[in-house]
Amino acid sequence: MNDLSWAATQLAARKPDHSLPQGLYTDPRAFDFDLDAIYARSWLMAGLECELPTAGSRLALTIGKWPVLIVRDKTGEIRAFHNSCSHRGSILCEAGHGSAPRLICPYHRWTYGLDGSLLAAGRMPADFNKGEHSLRPVPLRRVAGAIFICLADDPPEFDSFGQQFEAYAGPLNFANLKLAATDLMVEEANWKLVMENARECYHCPTGHPELGQSFPVQSAQDTVDRDFVEAMDRLGLPHAGVEGSWWQLARFALNAGCSSISMDGQPVCSRPLTTLNGGNVGSLRWAIDPHLFAHATGDHVFVFSCMPVGPRETHVFSRWYVHKDAEEGRDYQIPALKELWLKTNLQDKELAENNHRGVLSPGYRPGPYSLEAERLVTRFADWYCQSAKDYVASHG
C-alpha cells in the first residue's frame, strides 16, 4: 500500500466528532503525508514585520523539512524565497534572524540581491545567464504587520482572513512592536496532539493553575462580558468571534481585574501597545490551522507556533513582542515576560507527551470530543481530515 492509499484508509476510518485513528498520530507514514498534505499547502504565519526592521534584515525558518528565507529589501518590500542556492542547492542562510546587504551562499559564494536575483557567480562561462538563476520565490502576504507564507504555488484563499485580521489587529499597530524574547520547546509527541491540546481549555482548570489567574479558563471564550463588549464597541474595536476554514479571530475579556495574560494578570511591560480603555483591551486571540495561536493584550503579544520535525517530535516556537520603545530592565524584565507561557507550555508539553504515550497503547480507540469544551479541537480535526482528503483526492 503506498502512503496515499494508507492515508486514505486511515481518513475513511475516522468517526465524526472523535479523535483520530491511531495511525494518523503514531505511524511514521503520517509525518511525510502531513507535511505534503497540510504544511506544504497552508498559509502559515512566519512572524511579524518588526522582526525585519531594516533593509537586509532576514529571517530563515524551517517548515517541516523545508528551509525558507524571508528578506526585507531596500525599498521596504518583504519577500520570501526557498532557502536553497540556485547553484547546487546549499542552504543560503542559517535558521534565525540576521542582516546583510546581499545573500552570499557559504558554499561557492554565489551572491544574490535582496530581491533574489543572482548578482555574481564566479568561474562560470561568459555566456552564463544569471537572469535564469534567481532564488525561487515563495508566496507571501503582509497584513496588519504580520507575515504569512504558503509553500504551495496555488495557496488557499487569503483575503477573507486578511480583511478581518486587519480590522481586529490593526488598532494595536503591530508595526510598533519588537521581538523581545523567544523560546524553543521540543516535544515528544505528534504535532496533531500538540495542536489538539492547544485548541482546548478543557484541561486548563486542572492543568494550568497559573494561566487561570488571568485567562477565563472555565468559560467558553464567547461568554459575554457586557461591560467589556460595551467598552470595545465604544472604541470601535471589533470583538465578535469570526472564523474561516483555516483561521479564527476573537477579542475577549480577561478575568475581572486583569488586563494582561500574565502570572498576576497585570501588564508585564509598562510601555503599552495601546492606551485605549486604559490599556485593557482584553485579549485578541487569533488561530491559524495547522500551526499557531496568538494572544495580543494591551501590553504584549505572545505567539505559539508548532512545527513537526518527526513522527513523534514537534518543535514549539514561542515569541514575545513588546512596544519597540520599551527598554529591557526598565519597562520589562525578560523572565517576567516569559514566565506564564513558559510554565503553561511546559505543562502542555507533559500533557501532549503523555497523550502520545497513551495513544500508542493497543487499547487506544478514538474517543468522543466534548462538543461544548472541545469545539475547537473538533474543528481542527475536521479541518485536518478534510484538507488531507482533498489532498488525497487531487493526488491519488
Q: How far is the CB of 138 from ligand FES (least distance, A)?
A: 18
Q: How far from 359 is each of 194, 220, 354, 377, CA to CA, in Å?
A: 13, 27, 9, 16
Taking CB under 5 A as the rule, does residue 348 contact Fe ion?
yes
Q: How far from 208 is each of 60, 183, 282, 340, 344, CA to CA, in Å?
A: 33, 19, 19, 10, 6
Region from 87-95, 136-144, 247-255, 346-354 binding ligand FES, contact rule CB under 6 A: 87-95
Which entry of ligand FES, Fe ion, none binds 374, CB below 5 to 8 A by partner kind? none
- The verdict on whether omega for the bond into residue 290 sits within 30 degrees of 0, i.e. cis, is yes
Q: How far is the CB of 125 from ligand FES (least distance, A)?
A: 16
As beta bridge partners, residue 184 has 317
Nearer to ligand FES, 89 or 358 (CB): 89
Q: How far is the CB of 348 from Fe ion (least distance, A)?
A: 4
As beta bridge partners, residue 142 has 147
Which entry of ligand FES, Fe ion, none binds 331, CB below 5 to 8 A by partner kind? none
332 contacts 178 by C-beta, under 8 angstroms: no
Taking CB under 6 A as the rule, does residue 130 contact ligand FES?
no
Within 99-118, which residues bind ligand FES (CB under 6 A)? 105, 107-108, 110
Taking CB under 6 A as the rule, does residue 87 contact ligand FES?
yes
Judged by CB under 6 A, the residue of 88, 102, 136, 365 near ligand FES is 88
Grid cell for residue 371: 462538543
Region from 31-39, 83-91, 181-189, 339-347 binding ligand FES, contact rule CB under 6 A: 83-91
Which entry of ligand FES, Fe ion, none binds 348, CB below 5 to 8 A by partner kind? Fe ion
Cα-Cα-Cα-Cα torsion 134, 135, 137, 141, nearest 10 degrees, comes to: -110
Nearest to 208 by CA among 372, 307, 350, 377: 350
Grid cell for residue 82: 526557498
Interacting residues toward Fe ion by CB under 5 A: 348
Site residues (vs ligand FES, CB under 6 A): 85, 87-88, 90, 105, 107-108, 110
